[in-house]
Amino acid sequence: MALAACLALPLPGWAQAETDAADGTGEVIVVGGDHYHPPYEFLDEDGEPAGYNVELTQAIAEVMGLEVRIELAQWSEVREGLENGEIDVLQGMSYSEARAEHFDFAPPHAIVHQSLFARRGEPAVEVEALRGKEVIVQRGDIMHDYLIEHGIGAKVVPVDTHADALRALAAGQHDYALVANLPALYLSRELGLTNLVPVARPFSLRYGYAVRQGDANLLAKFSEGLAILKNTGRHQAIYDKWLGPLEGREGIPWQKVGQVGAALSALLLLVLGAIVIWNRMLKREVAARTAELRQHQQQLIQADKMASLGVLVSGVAHEINNPSSLLLLNLPVLRDAYADAEPILEAHYRAHGDFPFGGLPYSRMREEIPGMIDDMQEGTRRIKRIVGDLKDFARQGGDEPAGTFDLNAVVATAVRLVDNSIRQATGRFETHYAENLPSLSGNAQRIEQVVINLVLNACQALEHPTQGIRLATRHDRTEGRVLLEVHDEGRGIAPEAMHRLTDPFFTTRRECGGTGLGLSVSAGIVSEHQGSLTFDSQPGHGTRVTLSLPTARPGTTPTDGAENRQQEPDTP
């Protein structure tokens, strides 16, 4: 078997120094996959594992602190390896009820569409009409199982890979090929097979990690890692990188909506990146001038940049929010429509038995459809949240009503929200709240956003759980300010990066999905509140961040949100 090893790393934070990590047991988890199933998994030109599944497994190993070894071989071999214990987990396996009797499955990380391919010019046909036809399938694949389990009556022709199936069909051998849609599209393009087309509605199957039945501990690790990647947006980035360019050719309407949003978002980021590069070029041009002229020119550049950002983000956000709002409005109606139709379908099912519904047996689709609708609705909400983050970045000033709030309560709420991330990062987390802090003026929720960002950055800076994080509040009566100090014992910040920490799109975590907007957004929020963020760090000796905010002016009334936060902070 060809194989490759990947040592998972803990999430880096303030600075990117690559360090070794493991899950504390020294155990190497063997992850299996197909050696030629692009774009999901395959061996590249150097014989190394590559593809969507491979990058997703490496990312899960990184966030969970696991040591994994990825082995790719013929699908029938790796499936047999999972059954006999030579392989611990398969990184990509389609779900079926028959397979669930022998394997346990994690929540799906993709929906795989299986299609019936024929040579161009052949008429459309349903899978149920394949009796007596010669149908090529990959040996041990879900479609191989399907034809046998459902007694279709076709003459099954098993081959080792999808590529073998497509080559044989294109060369005039046999009648049809029943294979996964995305790999077939990918391989048809790579191999120049222009005479093949899908001729039946695709099957929609859940696709994810599988372990031997009863291996709940290992399954939980991969399920938790996948959930973290989904919540941080890193799973979507990996998905878009490998599968996005091909999905548009499948004809799935709701995926087209997502592609439009992704394309607009990418265009926005390109434009914003171009603006930042342009500003830096201008800064270099005026570097030789006098200090007064240079300072004046930088102020003009910054003002122009923020004005451009406001216009661009507002326009693109409007274009993205319109289709997103349409989806959020119509998906509940679609769910209600299915609920109204469900009694009729159930009655027909009880009277006549199972029947095809959307390319799958109704007995399965009635369980899948509500989840599909919920997934689409959650995906649409995620688009709106991303747009909201970009609008926060471009905002010139806060539009929320000013009020008063207690910094101790805001910090305690933020700590509770990120408690899970804290527990994963360190076993030494301390909070020290000063008593009788004066009230602050501003928006409590936006300051809470800043505190969450500072705590998460501190967690990501730690290299192992024995290093600690300490939060402390205090009152500087001389300056009339309230301060929050966030001190981590992590890897620290390189001197050359210190002056760029709050620059938009500057990040030392690019390979881990960092966008460089977190501290930039936080600095903008703090500036709106007439406060300051200062950083003190040395490589290898941790980082101390100090948030300073002015106390509230007499006569300021609290907002509803601020009143809700006037309480004693919890100590974790």
In the chain, the number of structural domains is 4
8 Å CB contact between 14 and 492: yes
Q: Is the pLDDT of residue 18 over 50?
A: no
DSSP helix/strand/coil, 212 = strand
Q: Quote the pLDDT of residue 525.
A: 86
Looking at 9-18, 181-190, 195-204, which range is the least confident one?
9-18
**Integer angstrom CA distances of residue 472 from 283, 482, 545, 547:** 38, 11, 11, 11
- Looking at the structure, do residues 23 and 152 belong to the same domain, yes or no? no
In a domain, 569, yes or no: no
Q: Is the pLDDT of residue 514 over 60?
A: no
Q: Is the pLDDT of residue 72 over 50?
A: yes
Helix (H) or strand (E) holding 384: helix 362-394
Q: Is the pLDDT of residue 252 over 50?
A: no
Q: At 17, which CATH number?
A: 3.40.190.10
Instruction: Note down the domain range covering 238.
Output: 2-104+208-247
How does strand 2-7 pair with strand 67-73?
A: antiparallel
- Looking at the structure, do residues 98 and 225 belong to the same domain, yes or no? yes
Phi and psi at residue 359, to the nearest 5°? 90, -5
Q: Is the pLDDT of residue 1 over 70?
A: no
Q: At 409, which CATH number?
A: 3.30.565.10
pTM for the model: 0.41
In a domain, 571, yes or no: no
- Looking at the structure, do residues 269 and 332 belong to the same domain, yes or no? yes
Average pLDDT value over all residues in the chain: 80
Radius of gyration of the chain (CA): 28
Q: Is the pLDDT of residue 496 over 90?
A: no
Q: Quote the pLDDT of residue 175.
A: 93
- Looking at the structure, do residues 81 and 58 belong to the same domain, yes or no? yes
Q: Quote the pLDDT of residue 92.
A: 93
Q: For residues 246 and 542, which has the higher predicted lDDT (pLDDT)? A: 542
Q: Is the pLDDT of residue 14 over 50?
A: no
- Looking at the structure, do residues 365 and 278 belong to the same domain, yes or no? yes
In a domain, 152, yes or no: yes
Percent of the chain with pLDDT over 70: 77
- Looking at the structure, do residues 282 and 381 belong to the same domain, yes or no? yes
Distance CA 450, CA 417 (A): 13
Mean pLDDT score, 469-487? 93
Q: Quote the pLDDT of residue 308.
A: 61
> 105 pairs with which residues across the strands?
210
In a domain, 370, yes or no: yes
- Looking at the structure, do residues 95 and 239 belong to the same domain, yes or no? yes
Q: Quote the pLDDT of residue 377.
A: 84
In a domain, 72, yes or no: yes
The residue among 166, 176, 164, 169 whose CA lies nearest residue 133 is 176
pLDDT band at 83 (very low <50, low <70, confident <90, very high): very high
Mean pLDDT score, 487-498? 84
In a domain, 59, yes or no: yes
Residue 25 token pair: 């047991």
Q: Quote the pLDDT of residue 400.
A: 55
Sign of torsion over alpha carbons 510, 511, 513, 518: negative
> Which of 374, 394, 414 lies at the terminal end of a domain, its last residue?
394
In a domain, 464, yes or no: yes
The residue among 173, 149, 150 whose CA lies nearest residue 159 is 173
- Looking at the structure, do residues 74 and 216 belong to the same domain, yes or no? yes
Per-residue pLDDT tens over the stretch 533-570: 888 888 888 899 999 999 877 655 554 444 443 444 44
Residue 280 token pair: 């830096």
- Looking at the structure, do residues 540 and 422 belong to the same domain, yes or no? yes
Distance CA 544, CA 468 (A): 12
- Looking at the structure, do residues 468 and 516 belong to the same domain, yes or no? yes
- Looking at the structure, do residues 331 and 194 belong to the same domain, yes or no? no
Q: Residues 350-358: contacts with CB within 8 Å, 24+ apart?
A: 356/126, 356/128, 358/201, 358/204
In a domain, 293, yes or no: yes
- Looking at the structure, do residues 224 and 199 belong to the same domain, yes or no? no
8 Å CB contact between 177 and 200: no
Percent of the chain with pLDDT over 90: 34
Q: Quote the pLDDT of residue 30.
A: 95
pLDDT band at 278 (very low <50, low <70, confident <90, very high): confident
